[in-house]
Amino acid sequence: MTINNHSIKDIETMLHNNEITVKDLVESSLNRIKEVDDRVKAFITVDEENALKKAEQLDQNPNKDAKLFGIPGAIKDNIVTKGLRTTCGSQFLSNFTDPLYDATVVDKLHKAEAITVGKLNMDEFAMGSTTENSSYQITHNPWHLDHVPGGSSGGSAAAVAAGEVLFSLGTDTGGSIRQPAAFCGVVGMKPTYGRVSRFGAVAFASSLDQVGPITRTVEDNARILEVISGRDKMDMTSAHEDVPAFSEGLTGDVKGLKIAVPKEYLSEAVDPEVKEAVMNALKLYESLGATWEEVSLPHSKYAAAVYYIISSGEASANLARFDGVRYGVRSEKAKNMLDMFRFSRSEGFGDEVKKRMFLGAYALSSGNYEVYYKKAQQVRTLIKQDFDNVFANYDVIMGPTTPTPAFKIGEKNFDPMVVYARDVTTVPINLAGVPAISVPCGFSKEGLPFGLQIIGKHFAEQTIYRVAHAFEQATDFHKTLPQLGGAQ
Amino acid sequence: MSHVSEDKVKQLADMLRLAVTEEEATRYTEHLNKMVEYVKCLEEVDTDGVEPMTHAIELKNVMRDDEPKQWITQEQALKNAPDHENGQFRVPAILD
């Protein structure tokens, strides 16, 4: 069998009717990894032995009511997995082979009987947007192998797009789930801040980070979020909110839906093909009974500056825990303890991580705190108010997930206008803490995917899924698979 | 335009417990100055009387019961450590 053209629901039916076993399913995932991952390079670690062992256990002892019974998935490598190496894409943690516990999200997946087949590549400590900034390997976009998959959850998006697993988990601090999902033509959800526990997700910027699912379809995505969401007493910032059955609200009905389209998300820096795809999506929604109007999120242009100050400040504090004492690689050079910290951290952290630590430490240092950090927090309030104002009159906000399709590997000289436009569509969402999804909405002439971003009110994931699902059902973009060869 | 000196960057490196070479100090100073120049755009925003936002959603202070529980054993705590001895983390001399 092959898994890469089936939904989780299909698979569930096949398992239920005994057409396939869990072992068939896991083997097909592992075979696909063997077939394509030397080209895609999405995985840092594949855990074949334990995945097969678990599959056999489930076949012998089936609990077919479990929500993700036997479903093979993979986890971004900054989410800890008990006994399975967790590197954060950094050489600093290359020897962190034996984490002591599962992150809450992983524990919840396993309780639902999903099977973890491995750990996925990422930009080091989730800092980057191409997955080129990993200490291990460069992940390739399954649609065009000379292009980036996006990042920082590039391995998570590429693994799903390449049909290696049915779902993956990523993390999103400033766009790190949605942007790679858009670049790889898959569905990626950044939930409301607090919807999903961050316990065991290695912290980058604690007031922005969220874990979320990447899948091929909206329904699959809703199922995974249903499983991983909810209050966790191990994460004091996780929300006391009920978790609706997201996958059961996919009615296809968007009649009367009021869509807001921020003019800031469709600036001149947006590629004309991307703009056309978004306009076509809006027309489709109109034909389904929704209405849309242009609005403004006036503080969007400051979002990138606010984001860099706040996320780097939080990162410089969070990364203090890497000291070469309890875990991680210790420098061989050090003769005393202070040098052990300094050398281990200098050798362990990559360039981008250090740049952000310097900015963060600078913005937080005495005399600068008011000028930079507090100022950024105040502008963050204004950015959130922009969203509150629009959501007072509209149900969802839409625009492109990214202003362009995926760029080429090694293409470092970005047009500053494009870089700015890129941050404008993703970063404000994390600052405001609202949920947003990216769904495939078209392809460039070169065959690279685009994403439509649908943003909702706090804890309105159910609305987002319903709206995204209606679009998906009316289009065929999610049915096209990248041409990697092998069994499709 | 220069906002941050190389000396300041070396001082930050010290606080961050990072060893930097002269070449790195120059490079990080250059980058930090670019970033500081960029984030200066926030100066044009009127934030008088605006509350700083510290959290994305409204959070109440949450109390939990203060109960002792088994978390990890000493042996487990040492499992991933680069160096340990007699059940404790081992580090180089604190004083030279």
B51 touches chain A (CB under 8 A): yes
% of chain A at pLDDT higher than 90: 92
Which structural domain, as residue segments, surrounds residue A92?
Answer: 8-264+270-297+385-479
Give the model confidence (pLDDT) of A176-231 as tens digits: 999 999 999 999 999 999 999 999 999 999 999 999 999 999 999 999 999 999 99
Q: Judge whether A427 lies within some domain.
A: yes
Residue A87 CB-half CA count within 13 A: 22
Residues 190-219 of A with CB under 8 A from B: 192-194, 207-208
The verdict on residue A471 lying in a domain is yes
Whether residue A55 is predicted with pLDDT greater than 70 in this model: the reply is: yes
Cβ–Cβ gap A302/B41 under 8 Å: yes
- Partner residue facing B59 (CB), from A233, A237, A375: A237
Count of other CB atoms within 10 angstroms of residue A320 = 14
The distance of Cα A19 from the centroid of its chain, to the nearest Å, equals: 32
Structure token digits, residue A152: 């920082």
B1 pLDDT band, cuts 50/70/90, is low
Query: Where do the domains of chain B lie?
Result: 1-45
Distance CA A233, CA A224 (A): 20
pLDDT digits (tens, 9 = 90+) for A373-424: 999 999 999 999 999 999 999 999 999 999 999 999 998 656 666 666 778 9
- The pair of three-digit structure tokens given for residue A52, joined into one six-digit string: 């097969």
Instruction: Indicate which CATH number applies to the domain containing A123.
Output: 3.90.1300.10
C-alpha span between A25 and A388 (Å, rounded) = 45
Q: How many CA atoms lie within 13 A of A418 on its CB side?
A: 13
Q: How far does B33 lie from chain A, in Å, by closest CA?
A: 9
The number of distinct structural domains making up chain A is 1
A299 interaction partners in chain B (CB closer than 8 Å) = 45
CB A148 within 8 A of CB A448: no
CATH code of domain B1-45: 1.10.20.60
Q: Is B63 on the interface with A (CB under 8 A)?
A: no
pLDDT (0 to 100) of residue A418? 65
Q: How far apart are CA A73 and CA A90, in angstroms?
A: 22
**Which active-site residues of A does the annotation give?**
76, 152, 176
User: Is the distance from CB of A425 to CB of A400 less than 8 angstroms?
Assistant: yes
**Residue of A106, A84, A115 lying closest to A22 (CA atoms):** A115
Structural domain contains residue A368 = no
Q: Give the residue-averaged pLDDT of A46-55.
A: 98
A402 within some domain: yes
Q: Which chain A residues touch B23 with a CB distance below 8 Å?
A: none
For B1-96, strand residue ranges (E) read 84-85, 88-89
> How far, rounded to the nearest angstrom, does the alpha carbon of residue A79 sit from its chain's CA centroid?
12
State the ipTM, two decimals.
Answer: 0.95
A372 and B CB contact within 8 Å: yes
Q: Is the pLDDT of residue A487 over 60?
A: no
Under DSSP, the state recorded for B86 is: T
d(CA A268, CA A421): 9
Model confidence at A488: pLDDT above 70: no
Which pLDDT score is estimated for A413?
A: 56
Res. A251: pLDDT tops 60:
yes
Amino acid identity of residue A468, one-letter, is A
Instruction: Identify residue A185 by its one-letter amino acid code.
Output: G
Specify if A329 maps to a domain: no
Taking alpha carbons only, the member of A10, A47, A1 closest to residue A28 is A1
By C-alpha distance, the chain A residue nearest B35 is: A359
Average pLDDT, integer, range A328-354: 95
- Model pLDDT, residue A364: 95
Query: Which residues are CB-contacts of B96 (< 8 A; sequence separation ≥ 6)?
Result: A335, A336
Q: How far, in Å, CA of A445 to CA of A437, rounded?
A: 24
CA distance linking residue A158 with residue A154, whole number of Å? 6
User: What whole-number distance in Å separates Cα of residue A376 and Cα of residue B40?
Assistant: 10
Across the interface, of B12, B20, B53, the residue whose CB is closest to A381 is B53
| pLDDT over 90 at A144, yes or no | yes
User: Which residues are bridge partners to A453 per DSSP?
Assistant: A399, A438
Cα A190 from Cα A430, distance rounded (Å): 8
